[in-house]
Chain A
Amino acid sequence: MDTSFDFEKPIADLQQEIEKVTQIAQKTSVDMSATVKELESKLEKTRAELYKNLTRWQKVQISRHPERPYTLQFIELMCDDFIELHGDRTVKDDKAIVGGFATINGETVMVIGHQKGTNTKLRQYRNFGMANPEGYRKALRLMKLAEKFNKPVVTFIDTPGAFPGLEAEERGQGEAIARNLLEMSVLKVPILCFVVGEGASGGALGIGIGDKVYMLEHTWYSVISPESCSSILWRSWEFKEKAAECLKLTAEDMLANKLIDGIIPEPLGGAHHDPALMAQTIKNQILKDLSKLKKVAIDKLVDQRIEKFCSMGVVQE
Chain B
Amino acid sequence: MAWFKRDKKGIFTSTEDKLEAPDGIWDKCPSCKKPLHYQEQVDNLYICQYCNHHLRIGSKEYFEILFDENQFKELFPKLRSGDPLNFTDSKKYTDRLEESYKKTGLNDAIRSAHGKIEGQDLVIACMDFNFIGGSMGSVVGEKIARSIDYCIKNKIPFLMISKSGGARMMEAAFSLMQMAKTSAKLALLSKARIPYISLLTDPTTGGVTASYAMLGDINIAEPGALIGFAGPRVIKETIKRDLPKGFQTSEFVLEHGFLDFIVDRKELKAKLASFIRMMAN
Q: Is B39 an interface residue (CB 8 A)?
A: no
In the complex, A248→B93 CA distance in Å? 14
Q: Is B258 an interface residue (CB 8 A)?
A: yes
Given A315-B79, A317-B78, check contact A173 B176 (CB 8 Å).
Answer: no
Closest to B80 in A: A316
Is there an interface contact between A178 and B247, defined as CB atoms closer than 8 Å?
A: no
| Smallest beta-carbon distance B58→chain A, Å | 21
- Mask, B165-205, CB within 8 Å of A = 1, is 00101011111111111011111101100000000000000
In the complex, A202→B243 CA distance in Å? 23
- Mask, B128-141, CB within 8 Å of A = 1, is 00000000011101
**A side interface size, CB within 8 A:** 53
Is there an interface contact between B177 and A316, defined as CB atoms closer than 8 Å?
A: no
Closest to B137 in A: A313
Is there an interface contact between B169 and A223, defined as CB atoms closer than 8 Å?
A: yes
Contact among B139, B186, B247, B256 with A172 in the assembled complex (CB-CB below 8 Å): B256
Is there an interface contact between B176 and A169, defined as CB atoms closer than 8 Å?
A: no
Q: Is A12 an interface residue (CB 8 A)?
A: no
Is there an interface contact between A185 and B184, defined as CB atoms closer than 8 Å?
A: yes
Given A164-B229, A178-B209, A229-B169, check contact A246 B184 (CB 8 Å).
Answer: no
Q: Is B81 an interface residue (CB 8 A)?
A: yes
Please name all residues of chain A whose beta carbon is closer than 8 Å to the beta carbon of B209 when the two chains form the complex. Answer: 174-175, 178
- Mask, B15-40, CB within 8 Å of A = 1, is 00000000000000000000000000
| Smallest beta-carbon distance A59→chain B, Å | 14
Please name all residues of chain B whose beta carbon is closer than 8 Å to the beta carbon of A202 when the two chains form the complex. Answer: 176, 179, 206-207, 210-211, 229
**B side interface size, CB within 8 A:** 63
Is there an interface contact between B228 and A174, defined as CB atoms closer than 8 Å?
A: yes
Is there an interface contact between A222 and B187, defined as CB atoms closer than 8 Å?
A: no
Please name all residues of chain A whose beta carbon is closer than 8 Å to the beta carbon of B214 when the two chains form the complex. Answer: 172, 174-175, 178-179
| Smallest beta-carbon distance A263→chain B, Å | 14
Segment with Cβ contacts to A, from B65-73, B116-124, B234-242, B267-275:
B234-242
Closest to B149 in A: A310
Is there an interface contact between A310 and B211, defined as CB atoms closer than 8 Å?
A: no
Contact among A166, A254, A315 with B138 in the assembled complex (CB-CB below 8 Å): A315
In the complex, A313→B171 CA distance in Å? 9
| Smallest beta-carbon distance A303→chain B, Å | 10
In the complex, A315→B145 CA distance in Å? 13
Q: Is B212 an interface residue (CB 8 A)?
A: yes
Please name all residues of chain B whose beta carbon is closer than 8 Å to the beta carbon of A247 when the two chains form the complex. Answer: 85, 169, 172-173
Please name all residues of chain B whose beta carbon is closer than 8 Å to the beta carbon of A310 when the two chains form the complex. Answer: 145, 181, 184-185
In the complex, A208→B167 CA distance in Å? 17
| Smallest beta-carbon distance A189→chain B, Å | 15
Is there an interface contact between A165 and B179, defined as CB atoms closer than 8 Å?
A: no
| Smallest beta-carbon distance A309→chain B, Å | 4
Q: Is B55 an interface residue (CB 8 A)?
A: no
Q: List 7 A-B contacts (CB under 8 A).
A: A172-B258, A177-B229, A202-B211, A208-B180, A229-B169, A248-B85, A249-B172
